[in-house]
Chains A and B, each alone.
Chain A
Amino acid sequence: MTELDEMGTMPPLLSVEGLSIRYRGAGAPVLAVRDVSFHVNPGEIVAIVGESGSGKSQSMLAAMGLLPHNATAEGRIAFQGRDLLGMSRSDLRALRGSQMSMIFQEPMTSLDPLYRIGDQIMEPILRHQRIGRRAARARALEMLELVQMPEPERKMRAYPHELSGGQRQRVMIAMALANRPSLLIADEPTTALDVTIQAEIIALMRDLQRQNGMGVVFITHDLGLVRHIADRVYVMRAGEVVEQGATGALFSAPTHPYTRALLDAEPNGHKAPPAAGAPEILRTRALRVSFGSGRSRLEILHGIDLDLKAGETLGIVGESGSGKSTLARAILRLIDARGEIRFDGQDLTALSARALRPWRAQIQVVFQDPFGALSPHLSAGQIVTEGLLVHRPDLDAAARDRAAIAALEEVGLPGAARHRYIHEFSGGQRQRIAIARALILKPRLLVLDEPTSALDRMVQRQVIDLLRDLQARHGLAYVFVSHDLAVVRALADRVIVMKQGEVVEQGPVEQVLTAPRTPYARRLMAAAGLEDPGRVGSRQGHRS
């Protein structure tokens, strides 16, 4: 089908030629997108992949006429042969939401919080179709049923805050498709969602795409997803298209080094198992956490048992709300827990805050958000050595400075970086600083709460390599919390799967990820495309 269209009998649905996007700012204008060309044929799914800042979203915002005021687009963008960049605002508004629609990455904030779902879906229908409110309401309800919204009648009257992230994204899709557009632009539509929800939304979009014969532009950094759904792929880097081609060809024989690096950056390999006879370092028994009291008391964890040896990594996976992060916080004694948390034989739940302090140095943490977890008012050196002030009061300033250099070099940053402030570092560098801050106290257990989730794949890969390397060198034990099963697979020895505050399955990583026994774990692994590694390559077959 794709081949035939490219022969040129039909004009492309969307064609972008020589697009450049410039941002005016305080200094010289910044060229965000440089001479980019691509096209989308009717009924075709095209993926644009690249890391954050590569210009992939900017190009599509330009097509929709949604660039911010300080940006200007040059070149030519044509939709069904009509020039979008030169079009009047009112002509463009008539196309948007009817002929071409866009859905965004942020399902939590992309709906107006002040209006009911039904009214919001009706808005584009009333805007673009000559029908009355009754008919528009019927059409809106029909759309909610089409996107498989549970209890569609009731959801019509609900407000966005009463819906989950997945449900909100369904509403976005319903709004975008309500006028049967011939082009849908989806900008990372599933990135903010749990894997199981991701799989459902992707399946839904593919069904709808096939029913309506729409062209779809899929903007994503998730190569697994691209392999799964796209006909053709454009790879963008630093504002330019560096490679393009049919999905199968591009994945099997990438020509550009960047594409190869991108493919290579998908987490792979396995961790070496811990030494035989390694001592047990952490053991929890019947670990419970609850919030509130009396009638409003809410049990978050219902008795968790886990064991961890020195040099071992325990992966904790599950959907959001399953209690993963609560468990991590309980082990760190950042929140109150009942039951037993034995670290090196000592029950930590029995200790007073004061008696706990020396143990705290041995259990350190790295959080998910490299932008929020480090103080912007301190230099990297101050951040890294802050723990020494508490736990090593015997050290003087010179000794702390030497320790900072050593810790930063250990995580692959130059010692001179200690004088710089956090805003000067990239996300990956910040996460290295967070790791250095944890390591400087010579801990034996590191709790890693989604440490790579906010990072691009290639940076993620480097952080994973660093964590593996540090573990081998120091015999660290890791508790690794993540919803990203591919990363867990690359890092963990054993995995526990959590659901609603309970462990539903546990075992060696390969066994749990590729041959899960419980239905919940099976659903989770299937959604991540992990249950059978042999099938990943054959996904293409599903489409034609």
Chain B
Amino acid sequence: MTRYIFWRLLTAVPTLVVVVTLTFFMMRVAPGGPFDQERALDPVIRANLERAYHLDLPLVQQYAIYLGNLARGDLGPSFTMPEFSVAELLAAGLPVSVRLGGWALVMALVLGGGLGVWAALRRNGWVDRLVVALATAGSTIPTFVVAPVFQLVFALSLRWLPVGGWEGGAFRNLIGPVICLMLPQLAVVARLMRSSMIEALHSHHIRTARALGLSELAVVLRHALRSALLPVVSYAGPAAAALMTGSVVVETIFSIPGVGRYFVDAALNRDYTVVMGAVVVLAVFTILFNLIVDIVYTIIDPRVRYD
């Protein structure tokens, strides 16, 4: 197992190089650059800026310089926010986004999983219908509608919660953004859990467990839930990576200093180094969480072996 994990981390390096390479060249193929603004810059200033950031060099050479810096852990300076390096931006924003996304993920898995199991056990009953309706609503109503309505009701009318802001991640400030970030995920998890639980409850070994007179709790928790978890676990990996790298909608609406906003701004402004930083972070998170999913798989299902 240790060897497997080591090997997986080793193969992550070429994966990252491929991702970085593709992103690097695709960004440069897109028209425009970091210094294209509404008012044209003085050509001399522009030339100086481009020289300072190596943008005057041939593309391949720029690529080599970037890759060399990246290998040393240097993500470069931001082009549009010159007072910050990309590493500083990530250091400030990423913990915020990870915290927000982490809570949203945990809540979605616990609540969504619970609702899914409950619905499966009461199949075609009112609980089931309600959960299915909620799951459909959760995945169809977009966050940019849910979040302002949430603010309107709980912050502006009832005055229970702040409209936005982070304040060092105070509990009161977390509630709104976590709920809005969680809802679509909760909907997916509930639906996945419900259908895999229904399938698990129909399997032959559940009939065996019932025929042996096991309690309903043992049948549901020991025998059905464990095998029903597998599809939810495989969904949770990529979902975790997506949630923890920041949501532009939630972070903008609740004025939260996460990385999601930077990333979108950077892509629009051709802030090459910030975009590259964002891609590296997302790729690392995806690789990491998929590895965790594969390890959890071996714990849940003894038939899964990596040698």
Contact = CB atoms under 8 A, between A and B. Distances in A.
Given A109-B203, A109-B204, A112-B205, A101 B211 contact: yes
Contact of B213 (A95, A104, A159, A172): A95
A96 B227 contact: no
A98 interface: yes
Given A159-B302, A159-B303, A161-B303, A110 B208 contact: yes
A172 B207 CA distance: 12
Contacts of A93: 213-216
A94 to B, nearest CB: 6
A155 to B, nearest CB: 14
A188 B257 CA distance: 65
Contact of B212 (A97, A106, A115, A159): A97
Contact of A109 (B205, B210, B214): B205
Nearest to B301: A114
Interface string B231-258: 0000000000000000000000000000
Contacts of B204: 104, 106, 109-110
B205 A127 contact: no
A96 B302 contact: no
A445 interface: no
A64 B211 CA distance: 7
Q: How large is the interface on B (under 10, 10 to 19, 20 to 34, 35 or more residues)?
A: 20 to 34
Contacts of B218: 123, 127
A86 interface: no
A128 interface: yes
A102 interface: yes
A156 to B, nearest CB: 14
A97 B215 contact: no
Interface in A78-117: 89, 92-98, 101-102, 104, 106, 109-116
B208 A114 contact: no
What DSSP secondary structure best describes chain B's contact surface?
helix
A175 to B, nearest CB: 6
A124 B210 contact: no
B226 interface: yes
Interface string A137-179: 0000000000000000000000101000000000010011000
A276 interface: no
Nearest to B223: A112
A172 B215 CA distance: 18
Contacts of B216: 89, 93
A66 interface: yes
B207 A127 contact: no
Given A112-B223, A113-B227, A114-B226, A101 B208 contact: no
A102 B205 contact: no
Interface string B163-185: 00000000000000000000000
Contacts of B302: 113-114, 116, 159
15 contacts: A64-B211, A66-B210, A92-B213, A93-B216, A94-B213, A96-B213, A97-B211, A102-B211, A110-B204, A110-B207, A112-B205, A112-B209, A112-B223, A127-B212, A161-B303
Interface of A: 64, 66, 69, 89, 92-98, 101-102, 104, 106, 109-116, 123-124, 127-128, 159, 161, 172, 175-176
Given A92-B213, A112-B205, A175-B212, 17 more contacts: A69-B123, A96-B211, A97-B213, A98-B213, A109-B205, A110-B204, A110-B207, A111-B208, A112-B227, A113-B205, A114-B301, A116-B302, A123-B209, A124-B212, A127-B215, A128-B213, A172-B208
